[in-house]
């Protein structure tokens, strides 16, 4: 895992990245709902 993280650590330039605050307000509930729906769909049709 350290080898995977090393390129990202070397590219760090002490500047703040893009602000994605509102993206995560939408992404987290949306992907949670999608996974819940998908699990219900798979298990409802499987048994």
Write the pLDDT tens digit of every residue in 21-39. 899 899 999 999 999 999 9
What is the band of 17 on the pLDDT scale with cuts at 50, 70, 90?
Answer: confident
Task: Delimit the domains of the chain by residue range.
Answer: 19-47
Residue 25 DSSP code:
H
pTM of the model: 0.52
Q: What is the C-alpha to C-alpha distance for residues 3 and 7, in angstroms, rounded to an integer?
A: 8
Helix (H) or strand (E) holding 5: helix 2-10
SS percent in the chain: helix, strand, coil, step 5: 75, 0, 25
Separation CA 44–CA 47 (nearest Å): 6
In this predicted structure, the answer to whether residue 47 has a pLDDT above a threshold of 80 is: no
């Amino acid at each position: 895992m350290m080898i995977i993280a090393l390129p990202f650590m070397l590219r760090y330039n002490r500047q703040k990245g893009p602000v994605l605050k509102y993206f995560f307000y939408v992404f987290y509930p949306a992907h949670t709902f999608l996974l819940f729906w998908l699990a219900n769909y798979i298990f409802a049709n499987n048994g």
